[in-house]
């Protein structure tokens, strides 16, 4: 069933095509694991909680196609009708994350192979190589049968392609992948000479004489950084190719149903390049899980939300999965603290999500994730989690008017590029096993603690509207993107570049002449050697601040070229060298931080940058209270989340949509409490800054 009026991408994307009339609330739903009486009980309890969307059929391939070529949609039809009768919309999954055992038996060659050429065993999930034409043909067949079968069913409001693509099958070294990689490399470089130049194969005499000699970077002594980086890109492209193939089938049968796939956006680098994939989806969706023992887990949650917002072009995105309580894959899986379920869900909403979806609705008794929490835990309805879920359902109904509003007043951008993260882990480095996002996280934490919202954007994003741009450890950057940072500064912006930025170009080749390579001219300084520190070592700066992990032998010109030395190293191998510099460039300022500062000292530097660039917080709140503003065409909403164990106050006015209470000037927040104010008139004073309207 195809439509004569094909929707354009612009009409497919965004709130107009959102699967629920209000904020989406629900989770992964696996009724195939349960008897029918339990399914009927689910309908009652979903009604009680206010669930309006479930993700169905993620692992149901074998239910739809119990044997090769024998299709049976009886169960699916029954479920779709039942959910529709109960007013619950369906985010229907293509079931390709769960390869039927009969397919593994018929085609063992579809299994991904590790770098030693060992195939995964059948079972688990995502047991397929993204390059396999055999798998592709079976996958597209079930997708075609499924889509043609459900086309026109009113319950089907969104498509969920596969599940966490790349989670388990992200990198494959099978013969098919090797052949595809050779083709990909040849298409990219055209000549073997160009390939040898790009990868620098003269080192260790690894020069190729033909593309036929190229392999995936599997088990050898140590790998070429260019080859490793290209293999990351290739692998992401192969998974994207699979996604697009499934999407094309769905678009043919159900052109008006929005299509998504669930990302795993966290700190990065990600298994696939989500930023470059995001436009391929109609609604950008994320799965996010916090780590219980991490005291800053709510800040890590905010970091991923701020990344998601950039991927949705500033508009609403969908939190597709998070946990109602403990996960089960960490060494120790801790439950959420009292009230944390609601704080976390609202934390995602504050940063632009128009949903609070969970993995999963009902806790499984059996199978791999039998101890993963759920909206309805093993304990059943009479439980803390289900009470919190019901409260959250009520909150989401009270917040319905927030749907479609966007995070506003964002004055700070943090540049983040997955390719830079891949480049950091591709090849040997001054510090091995570094985590690319740690520098970005450190700055983001400091901003979070000051109630300053940041957009975490790719380096090709438009920067002009931001008052402050941070370039944290952006190891790989193109000349064009480095130039854009310079243009931004010349036009009056303030930028902070931090250590290990601008070091390599797009093929992972070091930029010579002094670090930080691509940003050296802008900053007016040059480092000639890195001097990383052991875990225990600390180096003092002459302004009383302390460096950990990283210092540099940096030189600043003595000819008055506008470089101000803000602080020098007062110890370590780099004693006396500049540590932090500031340079006026055009109408703006370019700062360089060559050291990894202790958190409190980084906070002090951030304070200075915020004040110099005129960045204001969303509200005056004490440390530990999250404050983020969303705005619609007519209203402004201030999210306040007290993550501390102490009562707190926020300087703000408006009506708390969760309680109906009108606050005039001060909002009391009990320990762990949340409030969402409709600010009505209180904000329209012209102080909203240059962020998005
Ligand atoms: C992921 C998956 C789910 C489930 C959850 C919880 O996000 O998409 O299927 O495995 O993790 O572990």
Residue 3 has pLDDT above 50, yes or no: no
Bigger pLDDT: 226 or 8? Answer: 226
Position 219 in a domain: yes
The active-site residue out of 164, 238, 419, 552 is 164
Mark whether 152 and 263 lie in a shared domain: yes
Mark whether 428 and 577 lie in a shared domain: yes
The Cβ of residue 178 has, within 10 Å, a number of other Cβ atoms equal to: 18
Residues 158, 57: contact at Cβ < 8 Å?
no
The active-site residue out of 65, 238, 246, 321 is 321
Mark whether 240 and 299 lie in a shared domain: no
Q: How many domains does the chain have?
A: 4
pLDDT grade for 687, boundaries at 50, 70 and 90: very low
Position 159 in a domain: yes
CATH number at residue 242: 3.20.20.80
Percent of the chain with pLDDT over 90: 92
How many CA atoms lie within 13 Å of 493's alpha carbon, on the beta-carbon side? 26
Cβ 286 under 6 angstroms from ligand 1: no
Residue 509 has pLDDT above 70, yes or no: yes
Cβ 32 under 6 angstroms from ligand 1: no
Centre of ligand 1 to C-alpha 359, Å, is 6
Position 22 in a domain: no
> Catalytic residue at 679?
no
Residue 692 has pLDDT above 60, yes or no: no
CATH number at residue 638: 2.60.40.1180
pLDDT in tens, 533-588: 999 999 999 999 999 999 999 988 877 678 999 999 999 899 999 999 999 999 99
Residue 691 has pLDDT above 70, yes or no: no
pLDDT grade for 432, boundaries at 50, 70 and 90: confident
Distance of CA 234 to the CA centre of its chain: 20
Cβ 287 under 6 angstroms from ligand 1: yes
Residues 310, 644: contact at Cβ < 8 Å?
no
Helix H or strand E encompassing 54:
strand 53-56
Cβ 358 under 6 angstroms from ligand 1: no
Token duo for residue 426 = 């591709």
Pocket test for ligand 1, best of 93, 369, 373 (most atoms within 8 A of CB): 369
Cβ 164 under 6 angstroms from ligand 1: yes
Atom 11 of ligand 1 has which residue's CA nearest to it? 359
Centre of ligand 1 to C-alpha 24, Å, is 18
Residue 54 has pLDDT above 80, yes or no: yes
Mark whether 430 and 546 lie in a shared domain: yes
Inter-CA distances, 683 with 409, 454, 528, Å: 11, 19, 49
Mark whether 604 and 583 lie in a shared domain: yes
pLDDT in tens, 140-160: 999 999 999 999 999 999 999
pLDDT in tens, 261-278: 999 998 878 999 999 999
Q: What is the pTM of this model?
A: 0.95
The Cβ of residue 207 has, within 10 Å, a number of other Cβ atoms equal to: 15
Cβ 417 under 6 angstroms from ligand 1: no
Domain residues for 209? 57-275
Ligand 1 atom nearest to CA at 163: 8
pLDDT in tens, 277-304: 999 999 999 999 999 999 999 999 999 9
CATH number at residue 560: 3.40.50.880
Cβ 369 under 6 angstroms from ligand 1: yes
Inter-CA distances, 16 with 252, 311, 404, 514, Å: 20, 18, 9, 50
Supply the pLDDT for residue 174: 97
Inter-CA distances, 150 with 76, 77, 89, 342, Å: 9, 8, 13, 35
Mark whether 133 and 254 lie in a shared domain: yes
> Catalytic residue at 321?
yes
Ligand 1 atom nearest to CA at 58: 9
Centre of ligand 1 to C-alpha 52, Å, is 20
pLDDT in tens, 608-626: 999 999 999 999 999 999 9
Cβ 372 under 6 angstroms from ligand 1: yes
Residue 21 has pLDDT above 80, yes or no: yes
Ligand 1 atom nearest to CA at 59: 9
Bigger pLDDT: 686 or 247? Answer: 247
Residue 409 has pLDDT above 90, yes or no: yes
State the Cα–Cα distance between residues 667 and 485, nearest whole angstrom: 39
Cβ 359 under 6 angstroms from ligand 1: yes
pLDDT in tens, 465-488: 999 999 999 999 999 999 999 999
Centre of ligand 1 to C-alpha 443, Å, is 29
């Amino acid at each position: 069933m195809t439509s004569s009026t094909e929707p354009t991408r612009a009409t497919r994307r965004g709130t107009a095509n959102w699967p629920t009339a209000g904020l989406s609330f629900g989770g992964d739903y696996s009724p195939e694991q349960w008897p029918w009486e339990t399914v009927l009980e689910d309908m009652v309890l979903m009604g009680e909680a206010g669930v309006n969307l479930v993700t169905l059929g993620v692992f149901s391939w074998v239910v739809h196609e119990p044997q090769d070529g024998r299709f049976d949609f009886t169960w699916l039809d029954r479920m779709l009708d039942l959910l529709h009768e109960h007013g619950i919309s369906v985010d229907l999954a293509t079931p390709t994350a769960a390869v039927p055992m009969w397919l593994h038996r018929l085609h063992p060659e579809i299994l991904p192979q590790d770098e030693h050429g060992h195939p995964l065993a059948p079972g688990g999930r995502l047991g397929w190589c993204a390059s396999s034409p055999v798998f592709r043909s079976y996958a597209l067949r079930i997708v075609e049968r499924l889509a043609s079968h459900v086309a026109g069913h009113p319950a089907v409001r969104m498509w969920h392609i596969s599940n966490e693509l790349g989670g388990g099958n992200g990198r494959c070294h099978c013969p098919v992948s090797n052949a595809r990689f050779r083709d990909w490399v040849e298409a990219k470089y055209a000549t073997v000479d160009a390939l040898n130049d790009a990868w620098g194969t003269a080192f260790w005499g690894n020069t190729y004489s033909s593309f036929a000699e190229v392999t995936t970077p599997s088990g050898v002594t140590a790998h070429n950084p260019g080859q490793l980086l290209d293999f990351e890109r290739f692998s992401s492209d192969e998974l994207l190719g699979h996604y697009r193939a499934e999407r094309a089938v769905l678009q043919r049968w159900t052109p008006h149903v929005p299509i998504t796939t669930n990302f795993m956006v966290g700190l990065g680098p990600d298994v696939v390049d989500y930023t470059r994939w995001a436009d391929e989806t109609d609604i950008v969706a994320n799965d996010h899980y916090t780590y219980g023992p991490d005291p800053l887990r709510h800040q890590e949650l905010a970091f991923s939300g701020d990344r998601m917002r950039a991927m949705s072009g500033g508009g609403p995105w969908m939190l597709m999965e998070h946990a109602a309580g403990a996960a089960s894959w960490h060494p120790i899986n801790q439950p959420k603290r009292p009230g944390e379920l609601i704080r976390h869900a609202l934390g995602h909403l504050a940063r632009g999500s128009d949903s609070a979806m969970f993995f999963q609705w009902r806790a499984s008794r059996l199978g791999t994730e039998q101890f993963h929490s759920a909206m309805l835990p093993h304990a059943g309805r009479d439980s803390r989690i289900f009470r919190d879920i019901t409260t959250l359902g009520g909150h989401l109904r009270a917040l319905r008017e927030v749907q479609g509003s966007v995070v506003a007043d964002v004055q700070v951008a943090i540049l983040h590029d997955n390719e830079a993260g891949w480049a950091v882990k591709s090849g040997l480095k001054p510090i091995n096993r570094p985590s690319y996002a740690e520098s970005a996280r450190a700055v983001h934490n400091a901003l979070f603690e000051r109630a300053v919202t940041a957009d975490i954007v790719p380096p090709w994003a438009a920067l002009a509207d931001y008052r402050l741009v941070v370039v944290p450890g952006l190891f790989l950057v193109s000349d064009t993107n480095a130039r854009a940072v310079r243009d931004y500064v010349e036009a009056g912006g303030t930028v902070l570049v931090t250590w290990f930025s601008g070091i390599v170009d797009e093929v992972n080749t070091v930029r010579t002449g002094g670090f930080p390579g691509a940003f050296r001219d802008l900053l007016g300084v040059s480092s000639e050697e890195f001097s990383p520190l052991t875990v225990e070592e600390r180096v003092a700066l002459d302004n009383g601040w302390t460096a950990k992990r990283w210092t540099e032998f940096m030189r600043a010109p003595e000819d008055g070229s506008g470089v101000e030395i803000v602080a020098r190293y007062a110890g370590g191998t780099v004693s006396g060298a500049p540590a932090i510099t500031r340079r006026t460039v055009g109408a703006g300022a370019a700062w360089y931080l060559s050291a990894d500062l202790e958190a409190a000292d980084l906070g002090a530097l951030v304070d200075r940058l915020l004040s110099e660039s005129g960045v204001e917080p969303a509200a005056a709140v004490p440390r530990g209270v999250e404050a983020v503003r969303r705005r619609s065409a007519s209203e402004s909403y201030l999210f306040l989340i007290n993550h501390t164990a102490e009562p707190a106050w926020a300087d703000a006015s408006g009506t708390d949509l969760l309680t109906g209470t009108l606050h005039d000037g001060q909002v009391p927040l009990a320990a762990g409490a949340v409030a969402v104010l409709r600010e009505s008139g209180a904000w329209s004073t012209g102080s909203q800054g240059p962020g998005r309207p």
